[in-house]
Chains A and B, each alone.
Chain A
Amino acid sequence: MKKIFGLAVLSVLLLALAVPAVAEDTIKIAAMEPLSGSFKDIGERYLDGVVYAAKVINENGGLLGKKVEVIPVDSELKPDVATRKAQNLILRDNVKFFCGGTGSSVGAAMEQLAERQNAIMISYGMAAASMTGEKCSKNFFRTCGNTDQQSYALAALVAKKGYKRVAIIAQDYSFGQEALAAFKRRLAKLNPSAEIVAELYHPAGTKDFAPYVSQLIAAKPDAIFTPNWGNDLTLLLKQGRPMGMKQVVLSYYINDEFTIQAMGDDSLMIGNMGAEVYTLSIPTDKNKEFVAKFYKDKGYYPTWLRGKSFMSTMFWAEAVKKAGTTDIPAVIKAWEGLTYDGPAGLWTMRACDHQAQVPFWYTEIVKENPFFKHAFEASAGMVPAEDVSVPCAETGCKMKK
């Protein structure tokens, strides 16, 4: 009796699993972003861009006659959580397209999953070069720059400005080291006379920058390069400026409006420079039109993260349109070599490693800007795509077709 009852309960629970879900005829793209926890603001802004792109596509007649549906997925910035949720979406809702911008760990795990499950993963922000390098996969596309490209762009900027003495400070982990290595490699090529006067590593999450700042000042550089982000950037500037670190800081993520707001003091930021694949202040007509329309629709600006994920999604839609189907091998084939002429210039998806070849936009932080009351980007200048390109042979990618 007891066993039979237990069995009945078990069977009912198992059958409850089998309730079918209602399927709609849409093209689904899942955005894997941290939508909770301390990187929530980044994930939400990326997601915003994807959703906006879907809206624009749907307003213009949809994709292959169908609506594009964005499925927000909270990756919790954990690769195991992201892949598990993605796996469920593949099995249950037949989702074939995934995108994301936060956390190269999530990206690398998603890349493997996409290859196994015959899906496509698109990164518009996960920057670790290895994902289109030695780990590259035909099912993975990157529609933003990687650490190599971004460092190359900043090295180009340093060479252009003619800085002779450069100091470098970076977080002591793979990202910081990769960014630094690429920067040094490129600068040595572009301007062999430029000298690296200091090269400092600090643990990620350092609270006291005083010892590093005094070393930086003692080296008497013309400019300081750092790939630091988050608190490590804010604290470096907050503690460094009052100590007399007056040099221009060239950083990966200087154009983040949240960082500038968190700084609370514009004078710490003015004069610093950064380079990204998208900045609000790109002076092309296409970008002005995009920014104006976005602002009209939403009431705020498509700052870098939103712009990046927007363009990435539009680029993906172009590829699907060209393929004429959502069949994965067809989309992969269609996307290779495809160009997209968006707000940030001409993007080309390179076939050899699926790394988009994109121009970078450098910008200086100034007091007067048309976007915010606080200091923000001045009109951006372009580093052409070919100047930041890493040749196919040097990426380490051996793509299995």
Chain B
Amino acid sequence: MIAKKNRPYLFIAFLFALGAVMPVLLRQYHLNMLTEIIVFALYAVSYNLLLGYAGLLSFGHAMFFGMGAFTVAVSLIHIPGLSLWGAIGLAIAMTTVVGFVTGGLLLRHKGAYFALLTLAFNSLFCAVATKWHTVTGGDDGLSVTRPDLSLGFTTINMAGLTSFYYFTLVIIGAAIVFCWYFTQTAMGQTVLMMRENEERMKFLGYNTNISRLILFTFTGAVAGLAGAFYTLHFQFCSQSAISVDMTTTVLLMTFVGGTGTFWGPMMGALVYVVLQNYLSDITDRWPLFMGLIFVFMVLFIPGGLTQIIQYVRNLFSGRNGTDKSLAVKEGSS
């Protein structure tokens, strides 16, 4: 019997191994989709750290995603010879700064005020991206070419799908694992307890404002990394990366997947991207169906896909309908 403590690590190792063989199993079209799924999975995970863990409902997460996306696009165009690492590093640095500054302003308020303020900030960023034509390309967007990846001893051509897929798998995968690790740390647990009872935390001597700011900045930087890969994946970035639509997208992914667990939003990202691809082939009205699915999920299955999976698993293991409260975080998931 494997020690319970090691299980998550084995699970992660298995996922990486599964990801590593995918280029052999999947055709280019699906590999392309899988790359997109991985990128959006990180975006959804970062959002869930805010929503699921800290209980902060933000309508402005796309400003970090878009900021990362635009930083990569603009820097690759304007700084000749910039390496892939440099561009990604810049994106993370930029979103960290933006996260820290906006977080400092936004986190003074709670609940609905916070939600509306984030929406306002997102709109502000989006307006700047649309109007600042000389830098962001406005409605035209920016086309970039992926630079080669320099590993010190060798250089890998990133033009192909497969090589970029592996790069994404490794970097984004590592980022997701880091996010999971973050939830296991004392800091991560503090965030959880803060959600449950902030007053008590204050009495115990924690500075909840600082903890929250750290979390906000952290999730911003993670979303920025996802945004950076979004630009690198599509080799294109336009104002829709920073628009409120992109916030709605991540909200949908997170809710469809379920906010109760760490892995739920990743499942949500998978379902969202797959559905989007298939639905938009069938009908031009695909956002309508996405909306219906969202409404259905929120009304009847508030725990998302995670809830369905848990229910089905309980059926199999014979424990009929012992519905564990989803709000309670389990250590390993």
Contacts and interface: CB of A to CB of B under 8 A. Distances in A.
A174 B133 CA distance: 10
A104 B137 CA distance: 12
Interface string A174-187: 10000000000000
Given A78-B240, A109-B236, A5 B270 contact: no
Interface stretch (B24-32, B163-171, B185-193, B206-214): B24-32
B25 A18 contact: yes
A91 B29 contact: yes
A80 to B, nearest CB: 5
B241 A80 contact: yes
Interface in A333-351: none
Interface residues of B, number: 46
B268 to A, nearest CB: 12
A105 B26 contact: no
Contact of A2 (B277, B280, B284, B313): B313
A88 B32 contact: yes
A79 B313 contact: no
Given A6-B263, A87-B32, A79 B238 contact: yes
Given A5-B309, A6-B309, A18 B27 contact: yes
B243 to A, nearest CB: 10
Given A5-B309, A17-B274, A80-B241, A112 B27 contact: no
B51 interface: no
Interface stretch (A7-15, A145-153, A227-235): A7-15
A375 interface: no
A14 B141 contact: no
B168 to A, nearest CB: 15
Given A9-B309, A79-B236, A105 B141 contact: yes
A118 B110 CA distance: 52
B140 interface: yes
Contacts of A11: 18
A362 B263 CA distance: 63
Contacts of B85: none
Interface string B31-64: 0111000000000000000000000000000000
A87 B26 CA distance: 16
Interface string B261-294: 0010001001100100100100011000000000
A68 interface: no
B280 A116 contact: no
B305 to A, nearest CB: 9
28 contacts: A3-B7, A5-B309, A5-B316, A6-B263, A6-B309, A10-B15, A10-B267, A14-B22, A17-B30, A36-B284, A74-B280, A79-B139, A79-B140, A79-B236, A80-B236, A83-B234, A87-B234, A88-B277, A91-B27, A91-B28, A92-B27, A105-B139, A105-B140, A105-B141, A109-B236, A112-B235, A112-B236, A116-B145
Sort A-B residue pairs by CB-CB distance and give the 3 closest, nearest first.
A91-B29, A92-B29, A112-B143
Interface of B: 7, 10-11, 14-15, 18, 22, 25-30, 32-34, 133, 139-141, 143, 145, 159, 161, 234-238, 240-241, 263, 267, 270-271, 274, 277, 280, 284-285, 309, 312-313, 316-317, 333
Interface of A: 1-3, 5-7, 9-11, 13-14, 16-18, 20, 35-36, 74, 78-81, 83-85, 87-88, 91-92, 104-105, 108-109, 112-113, 116, 174
